[in-house]
Amino acid sequence: MAQINKEFLQRMRAELAFYKEKAKESIELEILLQEKERELEKAIKENEKLKETIEKHRQSNDRNLKWEERKKLLEKIEVLKRKLAEKHHHLDENEKKEHSC
């Protein structure tokens, strides 16, 4: 009988040690899970900031492209003005020649 009780106690101690180890592993896993959740939240926030930064740069790029388009149009207008002025100048010279003859 004493032998049975001793074996029973040994089994119970072994079982208790097993469950203590499992509980310890469970706690460690819970801590690890919480750390990973915090890392994920941080990564999500950083991702949102990057999205905002990308959007700001895109908008800035769009403004720069529009400015470049306007600048090119203004340059074309200036070229056309010069050509028009040259034509008027040549017409004026031709008229003067015709009137002087």
Identify the residue with better confidence: 99 or 88. 88
Q: Say what the pLDDT of residue 93 is.
A: 74
Distance CA 53, CA 58 (A): 9
- Please state the separation of Cα 48 from the chain's center in Å: 7
Rounded to an integer, the average pLDDT of 17-43 is 97
Report d(CA 1, CA 14) in Å as an integer. Answer: 20
Sequence letter at residue 43:
A
Q: How many domains does the chain have?
A: 1
pLDDT band at 101; cut points 50, 70, 90: low
Sign of the torsion angle spanned by Cα atoms 9, 10, 12, 17:
positive
Separation of alpha carbons 7 and 13, rounded Å: 10
Looking at residue 88, its pLDDT comes to: 84
Whole domain around residue 71: which residue ranges? Answer: 1-100
The arithmetic mean of pLDDT across residues 67-87, rounded, is 95
Q: Sorting pLDDT into bands at 50, 70 and 90, what band is 1?
A: confident
CA 81 to CA 86: how far, in whole Å?
9
Side chain identity, residue 64: N
